[in-house]
Structure 1
Amino acid sequence: MRLCFLVEEHYRHDGMPVEVIRQLDAWGHQVDVVRPGGSLLRISDAVRAGSHDAWVLKTVSGGPGLPLLEAAAAVGLTTVNDVRSIRGVRDKALAAAIGRSRGLPVPVTYAAARPELLVEIPESEFPLVVKPADGSSGRAVHLVPSPDRLAAMLPVLAGEGMLIAQPYVPNSGIDLKVYCVGGELYATERRSPLHPDRGVRERHVPLPAEVAAIVDQVGAVYGLDLYGVDVLLGPDGPVVVDVNDFPSFRQVPDAAAKVARAVLELARTGSAVAAAAFVSGAGRIPQQAFGGGAPTVDAQPVRTSAAAGDGR
């Protein structure tokens, strides 16, 4: 197969996707690497119908790769993940709106185009977690304990673009990161960016059944095949605080081969998960984007994904 990987400069030497590209090459597949942030591109030549079996995106949330992926989809090329699904989670405000409207346990979310607008959030919602709507890798995530502290932080928040704010979920200071690859789920523990002084060794851990059902539903709601979910185990149960397309897959056993097989399978078949999600309305912006109400989760996972082949 012939594949095109869009790789941001930030990930140029990263194990994900470098090791995946090496694995695909070792299996005899042709992989073209495009660096949208570091190359002058002749778009008419780069994006052509029939030029590749699939395009794969590994860029930072605010990077220039997503428009190129959308251009590839527009001329009929398969994308991994589905480009509509990627757009739905890269904007964290949109992701929160979609998630709550579809019953995922996502915190109440406020969105503000300017940081000074956040001062209108009721004091009862504090402490808050404030972060950029297009952030990634824990960048610029702030725990804000009080309205006074928020007012003092406004100059720090300026220049971050659209911001979201969510009430802080009390937790142990340990994030649970769950990865989905090839229809299988893998859970890891890691230190929370809100608790940088806590000594936590990143490690593979058993996945609770309740969390597995929620993560499976995340794939169905957003139409994702390869993804990661950040989960907090709060006093009222698991809470979804972030969703990532094509994450690092750290601590996943034999991750490069597993991801490579999944990419090949999706290149061959496309994403049935994404098709089902958009038919059912997950890809549309909900009429009520943000608001209260207790989220609910279906008792049974609603997503099914066939395991990928041997990659050869």
Structure 2
Amino acid sequence: MEEQYRHDGMPVEVIRQLTSWGHRVDVLRPGSSLVPVSEAVRKGSHDAWVLKTVSGGPGLTLLEAAAAVGLTTVNDARAIRGVRDKALAAAIGRSHGLPVPLTYAVARWETLSEIPEADYPLVVKPADGSSGRGVHLVSSPIRLKEMGAKLAGEGVLIAQPYVPNSGTDLKVYCVGGELYATERCSPLHPGRPIPERRVELSTEVARIAAEVGEVYGLDLYGVDVLLGPDGPVVVDVNDFPSFRRVPDAPARVARAVLKLARDGGAAPPPAAVVTSLHAARTPAQMPAAVGETL
């Protein structure tokens, strides 16, 4: 995991949970440490590799190296690559029928001026962005020119027509095949002080969130959904998010990681639990044998 997450509740609490169950967890911080890759990434070294990193961080290279030698990765390294690049994620999603907005990708911000005026207002953000960084609402071509200095140097950018909404969005989390949702203030409407809270999932949003896992090949993930005038719209997909407001999140995530490690990365399809989404469950305890590694 990257340095910025070394004190973060997720994954630190998951590490503590796994350790309390008797598992050995080795933590690598590739952004600040000398990593002996040829020794760290080898068959038989660990049962699974789990990544918590920022977009563009060096951790994904380590995860891909682990996958290349046949080790289990959580999530699948190719799946993570598919959602970390937002332009690639949009292409994958739309090609599989997910409700993803029309998406433009440009290497230089000036090229955005070629987008038809009818598509404004636009949401513009870095293709490798995360945590709401660099997200801008651009009202017109004139405003685009005025924002050039802010957009320059961001690398590849994506632009999508703005989806009218209430000022809130849904964050849907998938953990161990279960779906949970919270409602929060949209980053494009920061002036609306709406506290984040758990909400019930509609059947339609639950179906879409489950399809996201199948389309991108993710086991643990989050989906940002806007409720637009034409229905739900997927605006972002995150591998290994914060899992905020998921009940007993550290234990749930830890159990999911253990199951994926034991099954070689194969997870039950999220769609299998949609029909019983709101049923009360008491997750089975998963005792660990001392000396098992992760």
| TM > 0.5 fold call | yes
| Deviation sequence 1:28-49 (CA, Å, 0-9, x none) | 0000000011111121122111
Aligned-partner Cα distance in 1 for 2:45–2:164: 49
Aligned-partner Cα distance in 1 for 2:114–2:15: 47
Amino acid in structure 1 at the alignment position of 2:285:
D
State the partner residue of 1:311.
Answer: 286
Amino acid in structure 2 at the alignment position of 1:196:
P
Amino acid in structure 1 at the alignment position of 2:242:
S
Amino acid in structure 2 at the alignment position of 1:119:
S
Residue from 157, 162, 166 that aligns with 1:168: 162
Contact 1:220 1:273 in 2 (8 A): no
Residue 22 (str. 1) matches residue 12 (str. 2): no
Aligned-partner Cα distance in 2 for 1:102–1:202: 30
Contact 1:174 1:191 in 2 (8 A): yes
Residue from 3, 17, 33 that aligns with 1:9: 3
State the partner residue of 1:214.
Answer: 208
| Deviation sequence 1:9-62 (CA, Å, 0-9, x none) | 111110000000000000000000000111111211221111000000000111
Contact 1:261 1:309 in 2 (8 A): no
Contact 2:177 2:219 in 1 (8 A): yes
State the partner residue of 1:95.
Answer: 89
State the partner residue of 1:262.
Answer: 256
Q: Which runs of 5+ in 2 are unaligned?
A: 275-280, 288-294
Backbone CA RMSD of aligned residues? 1.7
C-alpha distance 112-264 of structure 1, shift in aligned 2 (>3 A)? same
| Aligned residue pair count | 280
> Alignment partner of 2:51: what SS?
strand
Aligned-partner Cα distance in 2 for 1:33–1:50: 17
> What displacement does 1:311 show?
2.8
| Deviation sequence 1:81-114 (CA, Å, 0-9, x none) | 0111111100000000000000000000000011
Residue 145 (str. 1) matches residue 139 (str. 2): yes
> What displacement does 1:272 show?
3.3
Aligned-partner Cα distance in 1 for 2:223–2:271: 16
Residue 179 (str. 1) matches residue 182 (str. 2): no
Contact 1:217 1:303 in 2 (8 A): no
Aligned-partner Cα distance in 1 for 2:178–2:262: 19
> What displacement does 1:310 show?
2.7
Residue 235 (str. 1) matches residue 229 (str. 2): yes
Residue from 130, 148, 153 that aligns with 1:154: 148
> What displacement does 1:151 show?
1.0
> Alignment partner of 1:58: what SS?
coil
Residue 190 (str. 1) matches residue 184 (str. 2): yes
Aligned-partner Cα distance in 1 for 2:71–2:153: 35
| Deviation sequence 1:98-136 (CA, Å, 0-9, x none) | 000000000000000111111100000000000000100
> What displacement does 1:270 show?
2.6
Q: Percent identity?
A: 76
Q: Which runs of 5+ in 1 are unaligned?
A: 1-6, 277-300
> What displacement does 1:304 show?
6.6
Moved over 2 A (4+): 270-274, 301-305, 307-311
Aligned-partner Cα distance in 2 for 1:273–1:122: 42
Aligned-partner Cα distance in 2 for 1:241–1:215: 12
| Deviation sequence 1:246-268 (CA, Å, 0-9, x none) | 00000000000000000000001
Amino acid in structure 2 at the alignment position of 1:182:
G
Aligned-partner Cα distance in 2 for 1:151–1:58: 36
Contact 2:176 2:267 in 1 (8 A): no
TM-score computed with the length of structure 1 as normaliser: 0.87
Contact 1:219 1:225 in 2 (8 A): yes
Amino acid in structure 2 at the alignment position of 1:92:
K
State the partner residue of 1:112.
Answer: 106
> Alignment partner of 2:25: what SS?
strand
